[in-house]
Copies of this chain bind each other. A is one copy, B any other.
Amino acid sequence: MSDITRFEVSTRLSRAAVYQGLVFIGGTTPDDRTQEIKGQTAQALKKIDKLLADAGTDKSRLLSAQIWLADIERDIGGMNKVWMSWTAPQAAPTRATAQVKFASKDLLVEITVTAAGATI
């Protein structure tokens, strides 16, 4: 039995990997990319909630986040609004936010996080 647990594994990537009490969640993106930034951010965060639950933890145990935006000038306000209403009280992770270019033209936001696993 491996000491690493992976979720939603393909030859390209795993959506989450758990090792020694640390939960790594990869770049998480919305499925419906016709939505604007608030909708896309909410979708990505909902997926992160699901992956955290699969790994036996939740957003109150987030350690770090990296947020990539396709248009930071236009979208940082909307993303932040959804983000700040989502974070757990007194438990927001560390964060770094920047504009990059994505492979998909319609993608506006991608969020990568690391979390602590279940309380032992």
Contact = CB atoms under 8 A, between A and B. Distances in A.
Interface of A: 3-4, 6, 9-17, 19-22, 24-27, 61-66, 68, 72-73, 76, 80, 83-84, 87, 90-103, 110, 112, 114, 116, 119-120
Contacts of A120: 3
Please classify the interface of chain A as helix (H, G, I), strand (E, B), loop, or mixed, using the class held by over half of its residues: strand
A68 to B, nearest CB: 6
Given A14-B92, A100-B101, 18 more contacts: A4-B63, A6-B90, A9-B91, A11-B87, A13-B95, A14-B93, A17-B63, A17-B64, A17-B93, A19-B22, A19-B116, A20-B116, A24-B63, A24-B114, A25-B94, A26-B94, A27-B97, A98-B102
9 contacts: A3-B119, A13-B93, A15-B94, A17-B63, A22-B22, A26-B96, A64-B112, A68-B96, A99-B100
A100 B97 CA distance: 10
